[in-house]
Amino acid sequence: MNNMPLVIEPEQLEQKLGHDGLLVVDLCKPETFAKGHIPGAVHLDYAQIVRLDRPRMGLLPDATSLSNIFSSIGLTPKTQVVAYDDEGGGRAARFLWTLDTVGHKTASLLDGGLFSWTNEGHSLEITAHHPAQSKYAVNITDAPLASRDYILSHLNDPGVVLWDSRSALEYSGKKKFAERGGHIPGALNIDWLDVMDRSRNMRLKTAMDLRTLLEGKGITRDKTVITYCQTHHRSALTYFVLKVLGYPNIKGYPGSWSDWGNSPDTPIEV
């Protein structure tokens, strides 16, 4: 199958359903999947692709765990993946970011996810599919990853910019979900909701609008951009936005503020 664009429209996906080499991965809530999903889609529980080490959450599972998870849904290195969810793209984008960490090259996001698919008249089914298990050998690469130590070593680097994808209240420290509130020093705040177009069934905003939004804040292509939120769920979508826009150097911070804000010796701003 020819590689699909990073962002695919419902009508484009509908034409490809049933083709060899295509795997549609549903990251909706289980009860939503049971009520109706894209024909042929395989359900993947979001909890399977994140690791918890309380109070740190949203960590990247180890290579063995990822290998088992990917193999269980029949994924192969040549599979064309299309991921979607029922919340605007956060869970689907976290799966796509995880695929980036293992070097999987062919993966797309259904623009608008279940919202665009159902609201624009595309069919659903209730049959659950269980593909034949594959053997997907995982090797994790550091390129899409930013650790706490990496960020600490680049706090004063003018070539690195941090994109805090949380709400303004979380960014300011007025609302906190960790031991400490605030944000990583120097981080720029654009709420992940601001990359979505609610008037178009939760699709991403146009590339022009997204570039204007980011560049207006100083998030430019010449910098290494690190995205984070509370756990690297919301910021997985903003990472994906950067990828769609062709930013050459992008990283996501697994664990995000649940890691930074629960560490006693990390610097913070409020």
| 28 counts as catalytic | no
Tell me whether strands 56-59 and 250-252 are parallel, antiparallel or unpaired.
unpaired
User: Which one of 96, 195, 229, 236 is the catalytic residue?
Assistant: 229
Rounded to an integer, what distance in angstroms lies between the CA atom of residue 204 and that of residue 64? 33
Torsion angle of C-alpha atoms 226, 245, 45, 229, degrees rounded to 10 = 30
**Cα atoms found within 13 Å of the Cα of residue 190, Cβ hemisphere only:** 25
The identity of residue 254, as a single letter, is P
Got the DSSP string for 41-88? -EE--GGGG-EEETTEEEEPPPHHHHHHHHHHTT--TT-EEEEE-SSS
Q: Cite the active site residues.
A: 229
